[in-house]
């Protein structure tokens, strides 16, 4: 039963769960994360939410396979709609785009009553997650960035608090690259933003040499500002 293995990125998500938490894993897929978290002693119970029928059935099968039906409740529904207020104190959402994660949080805001920690792992668009947290008074207390199977992932951990505090005087660059990550600047961080910088410079170069409509001028200015921010962070 303890042989369940997680990907490196999901292992890091689990490590951010407070010991003894009751969690909701939204978009749980095969429910690997809550099963692993329970078997490793991180959580006392879990709700695994899944909106798609196939993964929902897979999650139910997995929970049954490891004999955890009494502690992990697999529910079918969209986002946080699977929760009642006060059922959990920690929510994990992993493996989706940042825009979708933000939409799930916004649409289910009232279900977050009693939740003290959010652990969010956007595959892309982490800036959208950080903007939502900032707008809704969730303070980023930790971030991780890692390479797993040749892809780079970011994990954002937040609790209710002073949302602007982690950013200091550098809100714009903090939203883009992460207020914690930009301080640590580990190998995965440098690799990600060096690649992103080269990509943005290519786009900016094409835009600057093409016909200048008002829209393309605005796009170019936006890309140039991002380039400036990334270059300053990578120094």
Q: Which residues pair with 157 in a beta bridge?
A: 119, 142
Count of CB atoms within 10 A of residue 40's CB? 15
The pLDDT score that the predictor gives to residue 211 is 62
Contact 158, 166 (CB under 8 A): no
The phi and psi torsions of 84 (rounded to 5 degrees) equal -105, 155
Q: Find where tokens 């959402």 sit.
A: 93
* Residue 53 burial by Cβ neighbours in a 10 Å radius (0-12, 13-18, 19+): exposed
Stretch 62-77: mean pLDDT? 97
The pLDDT score that the predictor gives to residue 3 is 66
Percent of the chain with pLDDT over 90: 91
Pick from 36, 34, 33, 74: which is nearest to 53 by CA?
74
Regarding beta strands 43-50 and 21-26, do their DSSP bridges make them parallel or antiparallel, or are they unpaired?
parallel
3-state secondary structure at position 185: coil
Q: Specify the DSSP element, H or E, that contains 75.
A: strand 72-76
pLDDT digits (tens, 9 = 90+) for 28-53: 999 999 999 999 999 999 999 999 99
Mean predicted lDDT score pLDDT of the chain: 95
Stretch 141-165: mean pLDDT? 97
The phi and psi torsions of 98 (rounded to 5 degrees) equal -60, -35
Q: Find where tokens 């993964």 sit.
A: 55
Pick from 153, 136, 135: which is nearest to 144 by CA?
153
The pLDDT score that the predictor gives to residue 213 is 84
Q: Model-level pTM?
A: 0.95
Q: Whole-angstrom Cα distance, residue 117 to residue 90?
A: 5
The encoded tokens of residue 227 equal: 């380039």
Pick from 26, 13, 4: which is nearest to 148 by CA?
13
Q: Find where tokens 């049954």 sit.
A: 64
Residue 97 pLDDT class (50, 70, 90 cuts): very high
pLDDT digits (tens, 9 = 90+) for 166-223: 999 999 999 999 999 999 999 999 999 999 999 999 999 988 887 678 888 888 999 9
């Amino acid at each position: 039963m303890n042989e369940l293995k997680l990907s490196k990125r999901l292992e890091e998500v689990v490590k951010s769960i407070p010991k003894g938490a009751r969690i909701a894993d939204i978009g749980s897929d095969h429910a690997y994360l809550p099963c692993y978290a329970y078997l490793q002693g991180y959580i006392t119970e879990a709700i695994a939410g899944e909106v798609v029928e196939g993964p929902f059935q897979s999650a139910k099968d997995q929970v049954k396979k490891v004999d955890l039906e009494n502690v992990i409740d697999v529910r079918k529904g969209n986002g946080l709609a699977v929760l009642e207020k006060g059922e959990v104190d920690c929510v994990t959402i992993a493996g989706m785009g940042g825009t979708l994660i933000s939409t799930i949080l916004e649409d289910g805001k009232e279900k977050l009553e009693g939740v003290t920690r959010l652990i969010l792992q956007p595959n892309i668009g982490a800036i959208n997650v950080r903007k939502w947290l900032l707008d809704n008074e969730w303070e980023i207390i930790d971030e991780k960035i890692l390479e797993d199977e040749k892809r780079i992932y970011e994990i954002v951990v937040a609790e209710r608090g002073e949302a602007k505090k982690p950013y200091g005087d550098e809100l714009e660059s903090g939203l883009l690259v992460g207020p914690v990550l930009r301080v640590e600047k580990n190998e995965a961080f440098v690799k990600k933003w060096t690649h992103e910088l080269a990509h943005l410079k290519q786009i900016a170069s094409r835009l600057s040499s093409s016909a200048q409509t008002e829209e393309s001028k605005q796009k170019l200015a936006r890309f140039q500002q991002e380039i400036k921010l990334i270059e300053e962070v990578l120094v």
